[in-house]
Structure 1
Amino acid sequence: MTEPKGLKKTLTPFMLWGLGVGYVISGMYFGWNLGLEKGGTGGMAIATVVIALMYVTFTFSYAELACAIPKAGGVFDYANKAMGNNIGFIAGIAQIVEFILAPPAIAFAIGAYFNAFFPTVPILASAIVIYLIFTALNIYGIKAAASFEVIVTVLAVGELLLFSGIALPKIQLSNLTHNSFPNGWDGALAAIPFAIWFFLGIEGLANVAEETKNPQKDISKGFGWAIFTLVVLCVLIFIAATGIAGWEAIVYKNGISGETSDSPLPLALAKITGSNHLMYHLLITVGLFGLVASFHGLILAAGRSTYEMGRAHNIPSFLGKISPKFQTPANALFGNMVIGIFALLSGKTSEIIIISVFGALTLYIISMISIIVLRNREPELHRPFRVPLYPALPVISLIIATGSIIAMFIFNIKLGLIYFSIIGIAFLLYKLLKPVDQ
């Protein structure tokens, strides 16, 4: 049987919206609240507003690239075209680091949810089973995977709106202003990775461009509606959760200090309904869908990113093969799962998240430079969608992303060195082992 020439085109604008929101939505359910410990409501709010601006400007800029160059490699393909193979390789590895290392943290959170309902089931065991199930679903087919993603995303969005509807009438302004800037501007800078966690992953939408029925038109629609949905949800959740009883109540398990929690919304809702109310249990149950949506969506995007790098022979070429039976990047999906499970076994979930964010910021910086280079070098390139207010939007995104990666490195020097070592070693191997004709 001959190998298929490309990925199957099945995705519609609504599916793209579901994927774009689904990649990100777990960030509304957990993780972001740890930024409050660093910056309080004031510091975290400043970080979130700046990062939201970065993501809005980035999303519209990235949509131009995705519509003009609708390929599964995303930033790898854009940087290749704009700045050559070397920068393209670095962009591709940064993208792989982001997409492969974010899912283990989410898998651990999913395992913790199951453990809460079934205490006899070990967290790690259920997390690994989840990896196997959703990798298999992605290997089976993009239409089934995307349809599932849309369903769980709609449920997760509905649950966040329900939480906001219950909590917003109960908030008090004094809770939003209490101890709102405990660590000054240093706290706002330290909160940046957690503000990024609110939106991390939306760029994965570009990686399914080859599987979109009409990518030149539909990708920009998917990006636009997804970022609008996410910004609205971010504002609602931030105000509703912190306004109930102050930021400490959704950061610490005992509401005052000590061990931090990965369940800010249940902690907030318990202050209103108690922990035995139907709505409280509904939030915990449906909250699982938000985690599953992001976990599953990032596995999907990671598979396409690794596949494109393999197809270009920048990493082992067997990863760039399409399954003859399913027309999906089965080898890439399986390889990513193996790395993800090893990362999961390390137990360093918070550190893994930060390294993933380093990868994301590298992607943002290189892609914004790429759009500027391509506008100057290839003005005749067919661009079905053009970013409005060019060059303001990509420049704003570039400045914020550059400042963010510098601030992150200052506050996470060890993890920053690990990340840049990964990039450096991968690039060295690429230069030593690549075919002569590349």
Structure 2
Amino acid sequence: MQTGQLKPTLNAWHLWGLAVGLVISGEYFGWSYGWNSAGTLGFLITALVVAVMYTTFIFSFTELTTAIPHAGGPFAYASRAFGPTGGFIAGFATLIEFLFAPPAIAMAIGAYLQVQFPAVHPKAMAIGAYLVFMTLNILGVRTAATFELIVTVLAILELLVFMGVVAPGFSMANFVAHGWAGQDTFTAATAAGMFAAIPFAIWFFLAIEGVAMAAEEAKDPKRTIPIAYIAGILTLVVLAVGVMVFAGGVGDWRKFANINDPLPQAMKVVVGENSTWLHMLVWIGLFGLVASFHGIILGYSRQIFALSRAAYLPSYFAAIHPRFGTPHRAVLAGGVVGVAAIFSDELFSFGGQTLTANIVTMSVFGAIVMYIMSMASLFALRRKEPNLDRPFPAIGYPVFPAIALGLAVVCLAAMVYYNFMLSLVFAGLMALAYVVFMRGGQVRREAAAAVSPAGG
């Protein structure tokens, strides 16, 4: 076993596939829980505001990813801007985001497969998904990224097919009916519901920043990463709006608002239960879930690897497989956490939400904290290191980064207010991690050279 640097093998197409693939499961499930509180019209507005946050964030985030190409991503940027404590906050928030997203996706994979195999328990299928895709990630990053690109393209095509097939059954009257949080007019309850729906709007775009964690494995990252990010966010915004509008207009959208497979159920209204189109959506639709599941496993493993290499976690997890060149122990460690989450019904089933909805929200808590730390790092590094080589400066600086930061703070405040118990669980996990972090201070000082990101 060895530790050290990862090998650059990924081109711009691989990175675009990773950017979209990390996220695209958000178009297949998870977002429809937002209809429960906001309705179709309220949630559409919430999703568009969140899309603005993500667009401005990505146009700013590329400055950091190209200036400091490092497998730790936000951890590396915050460490450089604010020191070890800043690195801890960004790094462990990112880790929570990437550890809790895969179990939610795995359970959606199980729900999709149960449409075809009703006798098989969806949790058993979810565990099977972990075993298959952890293995693929261990076998090699180029193999994993090529597979990611292929399934991402298939997933995009399937979403376009979904929109085309249900289009004849679409009615704007269906979409707007009871569209303001179950009412036909905007009320104070609608506004509250729109804030409560923020985590599920974020789910549309969650984890696109994971491309930063493949920065050490990218060829010419100062050129390829901006291409991947900008093309990726534009692709995802178009798909998110299209899927949401078409699914909401084919019937009574309230029937799709609390399930893990809204697209097959929406298509069923138009084509019937025995249609070839429906079976195709279930099977090919799995590609969207697989693309994100597979890509986020790659992301969490690189985050665990980077934190371990910098002595924020035990160095045991920084091992690189001597044959495949991948952080195999980090892949397996994240899988253990994910499988435990799948069976954590008593811990995460509260507040009137399903287990999946609460795991999604936990992942979003990590993401939002990381977005705030990343934008704060961008501003801090502009002051602290004005001469740092910035191959792709933030577009619209300082306005775009400020918009992204401001909207992220609003999102975090709303999430704490509407998910107070989950926020306490998130804070508890961060506090526990901080204890481990403080005990490893001397080891980190001795590993200072390893913490210094490449390119800086």
TM-score by length of 1: 0.95
Q: Distance in 2 between matches of 1:115 and 1:369?
A: 44
Partner of 1:321: 319
Deviations 1:234-282 (A, max 9, x none): 111111111222422422xxxxxxxx32221122212221121111111
Unpaired runs of at least 5, structure 2: 182-188, 346-354, 446-456
Q: Distance in 2 between matches of 1:170 and 1:112?
A: 24
Of residues 363-372 and 276-285 in structure 1, the stretch that sits farther from structure 2 once superposed is: 276-285
Partner of 1:158: 157
Q: Distance in 1 between matches of 2:394 and 2:407?
A: 18
Distance 1:169 1:329, change over 3 A: same
CA-CA distance at 1:4 after TM superposition: 6.1
Once the two structures are superposed, the pairs formed by residues 94-109 of structure 1 within 5 Å of their partners are: 94-109=93-108
The answer to whether 1:211 aligns with 2:217 is yes
| Match 1:272 to one of 270, 273, 291 | 270
Instruction: Give the SS at the match of 2:131.
Output: helix
Q: Distance in 2 between matches of 1:51 and 1:16?
A: 23
Residue 197 of structure 2 aligns to which amino acid in structure 1?
A: A
Partner of 1:195: 201
Q: Distance in 2 between matches of 1:167 and 1:184?
A: 28
The answer on whether the counterparts of 1:23 and 1:295 sit within 8 Å (CA) in structure 2 is: yes
| Match 2:426 to one of 410, 419, 431 | 419
Partner of 1:222: 228
Aligned length: 429
Q: Distance in 1 between matches of 2:50 and 2:32?
A: 15
Residue 428 of structure 2 aligns to which amino acid in structure 1?
A: S
CA-CA distance at 1:157 after TM superposition: 0.3
The answer on whether the counterparts of 1:22 and 1:293 sit within 8 Å (CA) in structure 2 is: yes
The answer on whether the counterparts of 2:111 and 2:260 sit within 8 Å (CA) in structure 1 is: no
Once the two structures are superposed, the pairs formed by residues 321-340 of structure 1 within 5 Å of their partners are: 321-340=319-338
Distance 1:128 1:249, change over 3 A: closer
The answer to whether 1:186 aligns with 2:185 is no
Distance 1:77 1:174, change over 3 A: same
Partner of 2:15: 16
Q: Distance in 2 between matches of 1:79 and 1:425?
A: 20
Instruction: Give the SS at the match of 2:130.
Output: helix
Instruction: Give the SS at the match of 2:442.
Output: coil
The answer on whether the counterparts of 1:4 and 1:327 sit within 8 Å (CA) in structure 2 is: no
Partner of 1:65: 64
Residue 190 of structure 2 aligns to which amino acid in structure 1?
A: G
Q: Distance in 2 between matches of 1:262 and 1:170?
A: 22
Partner of 1:290: 288
The answer on whether the counterparts of 1:17 and 1:223 sit within 8 Å (CA) in structure 2 is: yes
| Match 1:429 to one of 421, 424, 436 | 436
Q: Distance in 1 between matches of 2:318 and 2:148?
A: 24
Residue 370 of structure 1 aligns to which amino acid in structure 2?
A: S
The answer to whether 1:89 aligns with 2:96 is no
Residue 223 of structure 2 aligns to which amino acid in structure 1?
A: K
Q: Distance in 2 between matches of 1:125 and 1:280?
A: 23
RMSD of the alignment, in Å? 1.4
Instruction: Give the SS at the match of 1:31.
Output: coil
Q: Distance in 2 between matches of 1:141 and 1:250?
A: 38
Residue 376 of structure 2 aligns to which amino acid in structure 1?
A: I
The answer on whether the counterparts of 1:319 and 1:331 sit within 8 Å (CA) in structure 2 is: yes
The answer to whether 1:372 aligns with 2:371 is no
Q: Distance in 2 between matches of 1:315 and 1:123?
A: 32
Q: Distance in 1 between matches of 2:444 and 2:42?
A: 51
TM-score by length of 2: 0.91
Q: Indicate the percent of aligned positions where both proteins have the same amino acid.
A: 45
The answer on whether the counterparts of 1:6 and 1:327 sit within 8 Å (CA) in structure 2 is: no
Divergent runs of 4+, >4 A: none
CA-CA distance at 1:436 after TM superposition: 6.3
The answer to whether 1:406 aligns with 2:406 is no
